[in-house]
A and B are shown apart, each in its own frame.
Chain A
């Protein structure tokens, strides 16, 4: 089936009254949860997984499509309106988005983010539809060693390119691999790393792992280190214009360029949404006629990265749906959702479950339209949700996390795991180990082991089989290039530099004791937080709650 035919058949699946309703519910719930500070797209999907337990697979995935894009959108709203964004894909959007909101142009920032997400999401989803069948054509010819090579790529790029330190990223990924090893070996039936615990024989449930690392770890982290019990929020001024004519003129090219940067980097596993958003930001700054505006509320600095972020999210679905390889934490959660329905993602998926896959892709398009239609008028409502007092929000996150952990198997032992892994999640945040590589490691690790041992079994244990096909050689060589190139790319506009620039800008109004903040992003944010009290000039819009 070609992409076009597939898309038409998918739309036919999605355009029934019930499925439209599921798409709508998914989008609204996804935005609702995604807008809450501290909850990113991956955690949103993991927490909402129980809602779909009772549904038909087709309806469940249509709902997922809505949740996925809704959560992405909700996240960017939060990062524009909250002074300290957490999620990596939104860090860049937040810099200029914050500045715009402070200058009373928050509505325009939200609008360019929403429309940019729509444009990027739509184009990228169409590209996904046309790429997927082509990719499957290649994927069916791949052997076990080729798959293993691709998975090695995913492991290394995801761990080495996410976060600030490649070493800490790799350690995080290996910790994930260790978690993935726990339980009974699929081939020999031997127990591994179970330490005699019967409850560990089935391994660590992935939902538990995700909820523990993202939710419980976050609650512990904020409880132990919060410097204020209120969210520093920027308000939207009533009656302000959305986008002016000049905003449109300045936004549409960054939307398209962002899409062009984000999608391909999602298709090849190049390590999360950080790189595409950084790349888009620096591209826009370079191409802009007034680069000095960047960091002070340039609308291009919101439009481009936001489009790149969304296009990247759609791009990661290509390897997920066609190869069964997740390359981001969110994709990993979606893979888990597939597995819960006994559906194996991979090249056979399009053959065996065409209605499901095309229904999902068509629903992504649909979710985009719903999001645009909902969010421009309803943004005021989402902002109200942000006003939930911080203690209640985090108490809610922890109780829902325990509920989710308990409900997976109805056993308190899973909550014990939740506590232990939540402690690990806390330490990882505290000491700068990125979380996503661990999730990808835990989910992809067992899949990679299957391919590795299959390849070795076929070759009679000869390790050279792993580099025996032209495909594997090309892949490993490309990997080398990407790893070197990726480090170079990251160094150009380094994360600390951009963040520091934004912080220094706050300091302009006068911090009498500037700290040596350039080394440490943690220190950076605290400087910014403190400034909220000091300067009244450009922070007139800030209403601490």
Chain B
């Protein structure tokens, strides 16, 4: 039995974690309110329509923005009354009372690296690096094995996409080589 990776979650941890969670709820509610206002303003900013109904591009955004503002306000009321969201149960044990910022940050970094480097450096290398980083973030500690899988997977994907499916992927530094 290799359960040492389990995070021990005690009773008072839950109480401690309650504070940031409620703060998170408030931030979400305020962000939704802001988004509602932005959508509403975008709708109102649209020029008046010349269509038969007089209903133009601005009508639906105005309605959607207003509805979002109302719903966000309702959410504020719910949070103030002490209701919090029920976190989703994912396949493969999650415990939202603990946030592992480093793995999350590494996953986000992997996507950022892909965005910045995929075209100049090429799919083969970038995809392998992203795979390795994510595998590390998710807890893989056999570095060589991860690296091997990363390289093989990215090569298989690259060649089956470019050769079999005829979908082009950036070659980057290998431009002209294969």
Interface residues in chain A, defined as those with a beta carbon under 8 Å from any beta carbon in chain B: 37-38, 50-51, 53-54, 78-79, 82-87, 91, 163-165, 167-168, 170-171, 174-175, 177-178, 181, 185, 187-188, 190, 192-193, 216, 218-232, 389-392, 394-396, 398-400, 402-403, 406-407, 410, 412, 415-416, 418-419, 422-423, 427, 429-433, 449, 452-453, 456-461, 496, 513, 515, 520-526, 529-530, 532-533, 544
State whether the Cβ of B57 lies closer than 8 Å to any Cβ in chain A: yes
Q: How far is the CB of A367 from chain B (nearest CB, A)?
A: 23
A-side contacts of B32, CB under 8 Å? 171, 175
Main secondary structure of the interface of A (DSSP, over half): helix
- Beyond A222-B92, A395-B131, whether A228 also contacts B25 by CB under 8 A is no
Q: Does the CB pair A37–B93 fall under 8 Å?
A: no
Q: Does the CB pair A86–B90 fall under 8 Å?
A: yes
B119, closest chain A residue (CB): A412
A-B CB proximity, top 9 nearest: A432-B85, A229-B139, A391-B140, A461-B53, A86-B91, A185-B57, A391-B138, A37-B91, A395-B134
Q: Does the CB pair A522–B57 fall under 8 Å?
A: no
Q: Which of B24, B72, B99, B157 contacts A403 (CB 8 A)?
A: B157
- Beyond A222-B138, A391-B140, A392-B146, whether A190 also contacts B47 by CB under 8 A is yes
Total chain B interface residues with beta-carbon distance under 8 A: 97
State whether the Cβ of B39 lies closer than 8 Å to any Cβ in chain A: yes
Q: Does the CB pair B165–A54 fall under 8 Å?
A: yes
A422, closest chain B residue (CB): B111
13 residue pairs A–B, Cβ–Cβ below 8 Å: A85-B89, A185-B46, A188-B46, A188-B51, A192-B42, A220-B104, A221-B94, A224-B103, A395-B140, A402-B111, A429-B87, A431-B84, A458-B52
Q: Which of B87, B96, B112 contacts A419 (CB 8 A)?
A: B112
- Beyond A225-B94, A225-B95, A415-B111, whether A190 also contacts B139 by CB under 8 A is no
Q: Which of A219, A399, A513, A522 contacts B95 (CB 8 A)?
A: A522
Further 13 A-B residue pairs, CB within 8 A, beyond A224-B101, A526-B93:
A168-B75, A171-B72, A171-B75, A193-B39, A221-B88, A222-B138, A224-B103, A391-B146, A394-B138, A431-B28, A433-B85, A526-B94, A532-B3
Report the Cα distance A63→B56, complex, angstroms: 40
- Beyond A165-B86, A429-B90, whether A396 also contacts B131 by CB under 8 A is yes
A79, closest chain B residue (CB): B91
Report the Cα distance A72→B77, complex, angstroms: 38
Q: Does the CB pair B86–A164 fall under 8 Å?
A: yes
Report the Cα distance A432→B42, complex, angstroms: 28
A-side contacts of B84, CB under 8 Å? 431-432
How many inter-chain residue pairs (CB < 8 Å) link A and B? 316
Q: Does the CB pair A521–B167 fall under 8 Å?
A: no
Q: Does the CB pair B94–A522 fall under 8 Å?
A: yes
- Beyond A178-B35, A224-B100, A431-B24, whether A398 also contacts B91 by CB under 8 A is no
B-side contacts of A529, CB under 8 Å? 6, 93, 95
- Beyond A227-B9, A410-B168, A457-B52, whether A37 also contacts B86 by CB under 8 A is no
A522, closest chain B residue (CB): B87
Report the Cα distance A391→B103, complex, angstroms: 11
